[in-house]
């Protein structure tokens, strides 16, 4: 392993350089962020970065890039690593963010051709949002399952879909459905039952509260709530208990990112089936392949990356531990990367 080619921490006081507005391909603007450049054409996105005195480049399919970028923006860089693929991605430093190319790819990094640059999160987020706004065509929803959005990520620039890319991760203070907290979903609010969950019971639990405990007791039908999710691979918080977050989500097709954990996370498979490919977080070497069926529970260790595959829309409960210093404690080796010994 060699060191990353160069690290240029950007000056937090200086905003990211403006994108050259005149530089367009097929109607799409090209963008820069620090030493990275981003361009898209009818089919592909090409990212370039400096290494060994030259520019290295990497190309991804435009739809895959936009689906990954959508999650990174909506999740505010999420926990740990968001690998767009085996080469490009982001690492959340919580307030700062590293954007990397090849850093977690054993061959590229080993050849000294990787590159990492750190940014103020708000600067990087602003540029990523500009890219999404310019590169997502009318009709293409990068949050939707491929079977539920128009096949318009490709071709020359054709309008935009700002409404679709404005959806962000739902923030819940205590529990979904409580007064003043994140809302439940209904037909009237534009959340019909998804075609894959037509058989899900739509009843709500009856809540009988002792006098004096009104506002303290709450329940809702989580299966009903998830049956009405209009997006895929987008965990949203439905309950908060201390630092324990329940983040259920519905999954169909392929998780558009390869998530590199910086802490343990638990998966509870609530319905149907998801297959996970699990690899070493640092190198990408395969570690395991896991098929989860309804009722299965798994812990994803803190030193892995994972990507899910779901042939039919499935319900998954992701259980996250939001304790602030967990990534540092794992990095210092204070905690084992797995949560339990048998």
**Which residue, 113 or 274, is less far from Fe ion as judged by CB?**
274
**Cβ at position 93, least distance to Fe ion in Å:** 17
**Which residue, 51 or 226, is less far from Fe ion as judged by CB?**
226
**Cβ at position 201, least distance to Fe ion in Å:** 29
**Cβ at position 147, least distance to Fe ion in Å:** 23
Write the DSSP assignment of 251-269 as a string of letters: EEEE-SSEEE-SS-EEEEE
φ, ψ for residue 90 (rounded to 5)? Answer: -130, 150
| 52: number of Cβ within 10 Å | 10
| Interaction pattern, residues 246-285, with Fe ion; x per rule: CB under 5 A | -------------x--------------------------
**Which residue, 29 or 259, is less far from Fe ion as judged by CB?**
259
**Which residue, 136 or 270, is less far from Fe ion as judged by CB?**
270
**Cβ at position 281, least distance to Fe ion in Å:** 11
**Cβ at position 229, least distance to Fe ion in Å:** 17
Q: How far is residue 230 CA from its own chain's centroid? A: 16
Q: How many residues bind Fe ion (CB under 5 A)?
A: 1
**Which residue, 142 or 235, is less far from Fe ion as judged by CB?**
235
**Calculated CA dihedral for residues 307, 313, 315, 316, nearest 10 degrees:** 0
Enumerate the H helices of the chain as residue ranges. Answer: 62-74, 106-110, 121-135, 162-165, 222-227, 326-331
Task: Please give the residue whose beta carbon sits closest to Fe ion in the complex.
Answer: 259
**Cβ at position 142, least distance to Fe ion in Å:** 19
Sign of CA pseudo-dihedral 115, 117, 121, 126: negative
**Which residue, 48 or 261, is less far from Fe ion as judged by CB?**
261
DSSP at 148? G
> Should residue 71 be labelled a site residue for Fe ion when binding is judged by CB under 5 A?
no
* Residues of this chain that bind Fe ion (CB under 5 A): 259
């Amino acid at each position: 392993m060699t060191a990353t080619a160069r690290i240029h921490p950007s000056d937090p006081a200086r905003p990211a350089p403006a994108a050259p507005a005149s530089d367009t391909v097929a109607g799409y603007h090209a963008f820069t962020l620090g030493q990275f450049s981003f361009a898209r054409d009818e089919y592909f996105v090409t990212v370039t970065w400096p290494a060994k005195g030259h520019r290295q480049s990497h190309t991804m399919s435009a739809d895959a890039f936009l689906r990954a970028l959508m999650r990174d923006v909506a999740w505010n860089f999420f926990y740990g690593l968001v690998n767009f693929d085996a080469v490009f991605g982001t690492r959340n430093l919580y307030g700062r963010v590293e954007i990397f190319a090849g850093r977690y790819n054993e061959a590229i990094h080993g050849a000294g051709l990787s590159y990492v640059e750190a940014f103020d999160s708000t600067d990087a987020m602003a540029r990523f949002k500009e890219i999404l706004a310019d590169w997502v065509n009318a009709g293409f929803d990068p949050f939707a399952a491929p079977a539920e959005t128009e096949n318009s990520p490709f071709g020359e620039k054709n309008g935009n879909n700002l409404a679709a890319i404005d959806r962000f991760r739902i923030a819940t203070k205590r529990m979904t459905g409580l007064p003043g907290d994140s809302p439940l979903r209904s037909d009237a609010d534009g959340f019909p039952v998804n075609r894959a969950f037509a058989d899900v019971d739509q009843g709500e639990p009856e809540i009988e509260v002792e006098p004096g405990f009104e506002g303290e007791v709450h329940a809702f039908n989580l299966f009903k709530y998830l049956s009405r999710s209009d997006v895929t691979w987008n965990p949203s918080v439905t309950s908060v208990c201390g630092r324990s977050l329940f983040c259920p989500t519905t999954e169909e097709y392929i998780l558009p990112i390869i998530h590199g954990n910086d802490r343990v996370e638990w998966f509870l498979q609530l319905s149907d089936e998801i297959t996970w490919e699990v690899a070493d977080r640092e190198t990408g070497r395969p570690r395991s392949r896991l098929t989860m069926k309804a009722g299965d529970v798994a812990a994803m260790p803190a030193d892995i990356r994972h990507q899910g595959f779901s042939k039919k829309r499935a319900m998954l409960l992701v259980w996250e531990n939001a304790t602030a210093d967990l990534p540092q404690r794992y990095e210092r080796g204070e905690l084992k990367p797995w949560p339990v010994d048998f």
